[in-house]
Amino acid sequence: MFKVNRMTVAIVSERSLADVDGSSFRPLMQSRGLQANGFTDFKIFDLNTLNSFNESDFAIVHAHQRSGLLFSNYLVDLHGVFTRQFDDAISRYWFLKRRAARVLRFHEIEKMQSALLSRAKGIICAGESIEEFARPIGRAFLVRNCVDLNRYEKCDVSSTRIAVCGPFLKTYHNRYQLEYVTRIAKQFPRLSFLLIGRIKDDDLKILGSLSNVQVTGYVDSFIDVLRTCSILLAPYPSFTSQGGAKTKLIEAAACGMCIVATPYAVCDFYADDVLIGEETSGLARHLEYLTESESHRKTIGQKARAYVSICHSHLTETRKLIRAYEEFDSSCGTMHQPGVIRK
């Protein structure tokens, strides 16, 4: 058994592990990577199982997102960074008194972020953009989002169906996606879209009566449904740019799918063959190109899968995580000093 000086690690997810989403996905993949690397002296918790958690039982608390606020001695794991731009977008959909709410919400985010990061003994960053943000605050460790490629079978490249991933609930960036899909689907009725995930009845109205758009609702096996498509459309807005590499992009690439996206969706995802468009017309042009030729889809999808195998491998990235644990142990609580570790 691999231990850090006989020390045990608690990995705490901010979200429920029962419902795998972009937030719970990261700690789950890290736990698989740790096991694959022979590091087994850890236990994973979420906020539903903290009643069985005692901080004193663990030498290291690896706290994802805001869960670190519950602890006194922890490494914080940042999947994304809240920004004013992000907050402005939230206020468009969540509050009635927008101007006052925007100021209040930003103050709350700023206060939370300051408390969380100033007390952290180190900051584990999901992507380069987050690492750049964290570097002046404390010791930063770059550990990218990762997958076990062996768990992802290749998609059906003969299909020309286009996937758009939710869930589309409480949405700021996902409502934005719905609006993009609606415009493209109306412009190109021969293209077929599959919206994977739950969606509110009110938001279904955005889609109107488009016959070329299908909505799955909740699915038990996300990857199996995703692989029925050969193209992922990710029209994310600018306020999602500081979110590390998006897990849906990594999973789609792991399946050998082609990716068509806005530049903000691919932040920290550096595959050379992602087709990027800023506006509806650019995205639609890329989709037409891919649906015209199975050969195009196969070539680009193979390159995407190869990129993930190198840059987002669960083995490689969790080795970095183990080194972060070792650094935490050897520093004996001095990791709050500014600096950066990139291994």
DSSP states of 230-293: SEEEE---GGGTTS-S-HHHHHHHHTT-EEEE-TTTTTT---TT-EE-SSHHHHHHHHHHHHH-
Instruction: Report the chain's terminal Cα–Cα distance, integer Å.
Output: 23
CB 158 within 8 A of CB 221: no
Sign of the dihedral through C-alpha 294, 299, 304, 306: positive
Q: What pLDDT, on a 0 to 100 scale, did the predictor assign at position 274?
A: 96
Q: What pLDDT, on a 0 to 100 scale, did the predictor assign at position 87?
A: 53
Name the stretches of the chain with pLDDT < 70.
1-7, 82-106, 108, 169-174, 331-343
pTM for the whole thing? 0.86
Q: What pLDDT, on a 0 to 100 scale, did the predictor assign at position 1?
A: 35
Between CA 262 and CA 241 the distance in angstroms is 10
The DSSP bridge partners found for residue 70 are none
* Residue 273 CA from chain centroid, whole number: 20
Half-sphere exposure of 341 (CA within 13 A, CB side): 22
DSSP sequence for 68-107:
GGG-SS-EEEES----HHHHHHHHHHH-SSHHHHHHHHHH
* All structural domains of the chain: 9-146+313-341 (3.40.50.2000), 149-311 (3.40.50.2000)
The DSSP bridge partners found for residue 39 are 2
Between CA 33 and CA 147 the distance in angstroms is 8
pLDDT, tens digit (0-9, with 9 covering 90-100), for 294-322: 999 999 999 999 999 999 999 999 999 99
> What amino acid occupies position 237?
P
